[in-house]
Amino acid sequence: MTGLTIDHGGAIAVDPDALRDVARRIEGVASRYDDARSALMRAYRVILDTPGFSAQVDTVELWSSGQRVARLHSECQKTATSTLLMADTYEYVELRAEAEMLSHTDPSTAQRLMRRADRLAASDARIAGLAEKLIIEWRAGSFEGLVGNIVTPSIYDDVFGTAALVGLTSGFGKVLPGETLKGTADRVSVAPVKTSTPTGAPTGVAGALGRMPVTSGAQIAVEKYSFADGSTKYVAYLKGTQSVGWGGKEPWDLKSNVELYTEQDAASYQATLDALEAAGAQPGDEVDVVAHSQSGMITAHLAMESGYDVQMQITAGSPVEPTLDDDQTIIQIRHTDDPVPALAGGGSPEGTGSADSMVISTQGNPGDTPEDWLVDAHHLDTYIETAEEADASSDPRIDAADEFWRELDEAEVIERTEYHAERVG
């Protein structure tokens, strides 16, 4: 692996208000440089105007110092101006993206946001062009690794590149507010196949991904955390696609993939709801989720439309990005040479979720090898390797995620049940 990055996701690298605060601080430094230049020039004039004084002082160096300070003042002013311009550009992108999301559920608010964006763009002719360039560069970076493979060019350039195109043009890669699953899922049966009592919560993002069901045939594991104060929390672990079939007994198949991506109810989603109910989760309970591949779509709808309180979700190789509230945290792991997360179209320019949310991205298999035929960049084991690298980093968002698991580790009892689901009827 190479080039691991951890950020909030989207094209907006820094909060616009934070940038404006930086600009004000730089302007303060510029003001001090201007004061220093004025003082130097006054001293220069006094020395020149005092008979015999100039022989005691290197006036040439004094003049040069004033010029150097003047250049520093000018550079600070330019930096502050550029920083303010970038803050306005980020805000413009943020306003337009938010307006686009709300256009389906709150058209009046969307129109107000668009008017604010238009006024911002009118204040400086450069803003709209910079915003367009910013988004183009961000999207291009999201798909780095999908094309140019010298071993399997027909797959990576033609087939995998199509995944990025679908994500960009279909509109299905971003689950917007108010978008719910439609239709009726195939009937399923869900049965427990293994119970256990883990000695503690997972450690780190990699540890969470490593808690996927291990029993043969099990697609779901639910851990119930019971605390001394009588409260409970649940964590669901959801495997990715288990079959390339269509509509057979296995709910985690291509049919469910297509249904979920096109916002139709699916057997795998219904099986997840049934497993959570069987584990004792009630509407309003906190249910956090760790998911791979197809199950990233299940997680999105659990967080956005189910009756459960999804505070934390970790997805690896998900083909969609949800639109989350500011109090919901998501950790998205993406490989830029994996065509499945490319179906998310890069996500949204403004990112999603709380300030602790993050996107961990890298190229899962940076070398061009025959193994690319197997799309090993999408395998769970490869994503666990990326998570291990992220866990070992010093990024403060990783520390915040670790705190989530430490709080779960305070539970007095942890009960884990693995479930097998299949279509029936």
Collapsing DSSP to helix, strand or coil, 280 comes out as: coil
Whether 148 shows a pLDDT value over 90: the answer reads no
pLDDT in tens, 301-358: 999 999 999 999 999 999 999 999 989 999 999 998 888 888 887 777 778 889 899 9
Per the listing, tokens 């083909």 go with 319
pLDDT higher at 210 or 93:
210
Buried b (16+ CB within 10 A) or exposed e, 44-82: beebeeeeeeeeeeeeeebeebbeebbebbeebbebbee
Q: pLDDT (tens digit, 9 = 90+) per residue, 25-39?
A: 999 999 999 999 999
The alpha carbon dihedral of 334, 338, 344, 349 has a sign of positive
The better pLDDT of the pair 367, 72 is held by 72
Q: Quote the pLDDT of residue 158.
A: 54
Q: In terms of residues, how long is the chain?
A: 425
155 vs 194, higher pLDDT: 194
pLDDT at position 310: 97
Q: Which stretch, 13-27, 47-61, 245-259, has highest mean pLDDT? A: 245-259
Q: Quick check: 373 pLDDT over 50?
A: no
| Predicted pLDDT at 141 | 65
Average pLDDT, integer, range 57-63: 88
Q: What is the mean pLDDT of residues 192-216?
A: 95
When comparing pLDDT for 3 and 12, which is higher?
3
Poorest-pLDDT segment among 37-51, 125-139, 305-319 = 125-139
Maximum alpha-carbon separation in the chain: 108
Q: What's phi and psi for 394, nearest 5 deg?
A: -105, 15
Query: What mean pLDDT do residues 16-27 have?
Result: 90
pLDDT of residue 367: 55
Residue 376's pLDDT is: 80
pLDDT at 342: 83
User: Mind spelling out the 3-state secondary structure of 40-82?
Assistant: HHHHHHHHHHCCCCCCCCCHHHHHHHHHHHHHHHHHHHHHHHH
Q: What is the mean pLDDT of the chain?
A: 87
CA-CA distance, 65 to 37, in Å (whole number)? 8
Hey, what are 155's tokens?
A: 């797959």
Kindly state the DSSP code that residue 155 receives in the 8-state scheme: I
pLDDT tens digit string along 233-245?
999 999 999 999 9
- β-bridge partners, 358: 331
- Place 194 in a pLDDT band, splitting at 50, 70 and 90: very high
- With vertex at residue 238, the alpha carbon angle to CA 236 and CA 240, rounded to the nearest 5 degrees, is 170
3-state SS class at 249: coil
